[in-house]
Amino acid sequence: MNSILQHDLKNFEVILEKAKQQGIDFLNNLENIPTSSKNKVDTNRVLNEVGLGSEEALIEFNERLVPLLVSSPGPRYWGFVTGGSTPASIVGDWLSSIYDQNTQAVAAQGGNSALIEFETIHLLLQLLELPDTFMGGFVTGATMSNFTCLGVARQWFGKQLGKDFAKNGISETINILTAMPHSSSLKTLSMLGIGSQNYTVVKTSEGNREAIDIDDLETKIKELNGKPFILISSAGTVNTADFDDFKEISALKSKYNFWWHIDAAFGGFAAVSEKYKHYVEGWQGADSIAVDCHKWLNVPYESAFYLVKKEHINLQIETFQNSNAPYLGNPLENFNYLNVLPENSRRLRALPVWFSLVAYGKEGFCDIIEKSALLALHFGNELIEDSRFELLAPIRLNNVCFTLKGDENQDKVAQFLMRLNDTGKVFMTPTVYQNKKGIRASFVNWRTAEEDIKIVIEEMKNIISDLDL
């Protein structure tokens, strides 16, 4: 063994202790660490001939690289839809690295960590009140989850026309209907060889809505003259957290032949709360659902899961099986994750979620969801009270979409946001809503409190006064 490695091995405990202490210092100081950074680093670092050892590497990391990092797990990082990491999720994440399993098969040679993944999916189904007619597994994010689900949908579509797209490639136009797809679904259509522009846009409902217009959907379905199609629907659009009407879509499902996919990246967690579960009523009728865990479940990146109805397991295996050999036996008995997902080798990605669910239970997550929604309302009220801001859409759940009031101020929105983000006290993302430039604040982090809203509103008022609106 190389002497440096040997030294590291001997000092392992000391090294891990240092890393742990650094982690605790970072997390305890999250509120004071800026939410944005303009620091840069010269990335032309030369690879050492002789290594430095972990302790020296840690020192260099602190000096050169840590200044690039921001308080993204902190309470005022409201950009994108970003959760933080709860203590239990960090325990699970650390232990995934320590145990370093390659999570694939059940009841095969070489370990049974896939059972932990099965159990975690079972817990998630209970959290979301979904039936165990779904099977699921972990992927890196909702993008890969959409990819997995829509990959199976693609195979289903081919089968309706007597074709095997997985084996022979796509030989027919695949009909996709959707109203307000997330950009990652379009990326998925590109990756699947369907084409990111090859979908039919269904209208959104009247009024300030991003949900699918059911009448227009049915019109578009009728225009297909009985041909099969794939419907990509939304449980939580990013701008305004709007939901398609899943009861109506369920009713259509009994009349027409289609694959129903739901992108529920963050909105799926509405199911956890008595107050908000009506948004997802009827979603159990879907063929596939994509859900992120690194958003509202507050586990570290990269964590998401897919759900596909068990009845489609053969289509899923046809799409993702890792060999050309026909799959032998009962697919549910000889289950191996590498035959149902894009990745072959996989870390024990379920563990942070398992720890979180066991540690905090249904009540813990209901609390996070309801508190986030309450904070969104609170922030929205503060904006309404200041005549220089205006909400672009009603606040349905946890996302607040707003802008500077007055069309004449549209060209100042970007400048305002840049100055706000430059304070390092808060981070929000720009958006466009109904042709208006706006800003989105998303409440998902378990640490966010009312005090944070006070801090942010104060910064916002200072900047807008300074901009002289």
Ligand X SMILES: *Cc1c(COP(=O)(O)O)cnc(C)c1O
Contact residues: ligand X, CB under 6 A: 81, 141-143, 182, 184, 236, 238, 263, 265-266, 292, 304
Dihedrals phi, psi of 186, to nearest 5 degrees: -70, -40
- On whether the CB atoms of residues 177 and 199 are closer than 8 A, the answer is yes
Nearer to ligand X among residue 103 and residue 143 (C-beta): 143
Q: How far is the CB of 171 from ligand X (least distance, A)?
A: 29
- On whether the CB atoms of residues 54 and 61 are closer than 8 A, the answer is no
Residues 6+ apart with CB under 8 A from 66: none
d(CA 316, CA 338): 11
Q: How far is the CB of 177 from ligand X (least distance, A)?
A: 17
SS3 145: helix
Nearer to ligand X among residue 397 and residue 463 (C-beta): 397
Q: How far is the CB of 440 from ligand X (least distance, A)?
A: 11
d(CA 432, CA 350): 35
Nearer to ligand X among residue 304 and residue 350 (C-beta): 304
d(CA 38, CA 281): 44
Q: How far is the CB of 149 from ligand X (least distance, A)?
A: 11
d(CA 424, CA 455): 12
d(CA 1, CA 453): 54
Nearer to ligand X among residue 104 and residue 145 (C-beta): 145
DSSP summary character for residue 434: T
In one letter, which amino acid is 379?
Answer: F
How is the beta sheet containing 200-201 ordered, strand by strand?
Answer: 134-139, 304-309, 288-292, 258-263, 229-234, 176-178, 200-201
The residue assigned the tokens 């990111």 is: 196
Nearer to ligand X among residue 79 and residue 158 (C-beta): 79
Q: How far is the CB of 294 from ligand X (least distance, A)?
A: 6
Q: How far is the CB of 136 from ligand X (least distance, A)?
A: 15
Nearer to ligand X among residue 400 and residue 460 (C-beta): 400
**What are 337's two structure tokens?**
């994750």
SS3 64: helix
Nearer to ligand X among residue 221 and residue 353 (C-beta): 353
- Count CB atoms within 10 A of the CB of residue 285: 16
Q: DSSP for 366-392?
A: HHHHHHHHHHHHHHHHHHHHSTTEEES
Nearer to ligand X among residue 303 and residue 421 (C-beta): 303
Nearer to ligand X among residue 71 and residue 146 (C-beta): 146
Q: How far is the CB of 267 from ligand X (least distance, A)?
A: 7
Q: How far is the CB of 130 from ligand X (least distance, A)?
A: 18
Q: Give the strand pairing for 288-292 and 304-309.
A: antiparallel
Residue nearest to ligand X (CB): 141
Q: How far is the CB of 36 from ligand X (least distance, A)?
A: 19
Nearest to 240 by CA among 215, 275, 274, 204: 204
